[in-house]
Amino acid sequence: MIAYLDYNATAPLRPEALDAMTRAVAEPGNASSVHAAGRRARRLVEEAREKVAALAAVDPRWVIFTSGGTEANNLALGGLAAGPRLVSATEHDSVLQAAPQAERLAVRPDGQIDLDALEEALRGQPAGALVSVMLANNETGVLQPMEAVVERAKAAGALVHCDAVQAAGKLPLDMVRLGVDCMTLSSHKLGGPPGVGALLCRDNLPLTPLLQGGGQERQRRPGTENLPGIAGFGAAAEAALRDLPQVGSIAGLRDSLETGAQTIAPEVRVFGAESARLANTSCLALAGMAAETQIMALDLAGVAVSAGAACSSGKVRPSHVLTAMGASAGEAASAIRVSLGWRSSTDDVDRFLAAWGDLYRRSQAA
């Protein structure tokens, strides 16, 4: 069995999600049909909607089911407001590419957004601009000061979108308290199935659908609902909310991993260590040791991690996140991400350190 340490890419499927999906697959009805089978399917969708809403402490009517976090981000960037877009330089590609003309907001070396740069960028913008800032970075785990972002955006009459894909299930979420207008979630980061996500959108906010052809999701996202996926998403959201008290133990594993890595190689850099971070995420850079080499060696040793960023084809490429934080080309090219989750153990950390330590010692002897 491998030591799976790539939860920020995809978390293992939770048994609760598998059970919910199995039950939903057996339902023959379309959730838009009015007969008994359709009503049973609709009930499963609405039960899942309530569970996903509870994860972010919002009204279930705010939940719009999508095919995943990428679609939800595109729906927010493409369907909200007609004004300018401002996005942080460390956003996920599904935000950056959804708004290629957006002004990119600088971040500090610790990975947090430069609030002065945000304020300056908002100055003179017409009302109705959209600011998109992720709550937790997928590569470094760095948490953004969303309350301060919202305060500045609202003072300028701008809307705020928050990609909370990595934060959900790893820290308590309260969309209303944060003050954001819409929020993106993804099922497979929580231990649900891939191919389903949600955009949480304030009920009174105009939203233009990206797709045409049906009245599903209150006419905000047409298309027959993915019943098994949505049911699994709901079950995973419920389980993730239940398990939030265990986050402290995951933080302990991460700290042990980082301490062990620094003992092996004192020169290793932990990106974002000086900022508030997700409890499960470590981004380690060791200049001179290519990320691809590390990933391949660890894979051969039965340890699964990822590079700081990987494109859809699976090729390793330099991280725009680390570059925006001021990392050198060598550091960005050597960064790996280790991310833990609900099934991680001390054995996983020990296996990583043993394999990574062996690789480091071989590189020093070469």
Residue 114's Cβ-count burial label (10 Å; 0-12, 13-18, 19+) is middle
Indicate if 283 belongs to the active site: no
The answer to whether residues 112 and 145 touch, using CB atoms and an 8 Å cutoff, is yes
Tokens at residue 18, please?
């598998």
Q: Which of 11, 72, 3 is nearest to 278 (CA)?
A: 11
Tokens at residue 250, please?
């995951």
H/E segment holding residue 160: strand 159-163
Strand arrangement, sheet containing 182-186: 63-66, 197-201, 182-186, 159-163, 130-132, 85-88, 103-105
- Helix (H/G/I), strand (E/B), else coil: 83: coil
Out of 162, 182, 283, 311, pick the active-site residue.
311
φ, ψ dihedrals at 123, nearest 5°: -65, 125
Q: Which of 235, 187, 158, 178 is nearest to 57 (CA)?
A: 178
Distance CA 347, CA 352 (A): 9
- The DSSP 8-state label assigned to residue 338 in this structure reads E
Residues, the chain: 366
Catalytic residues: 311
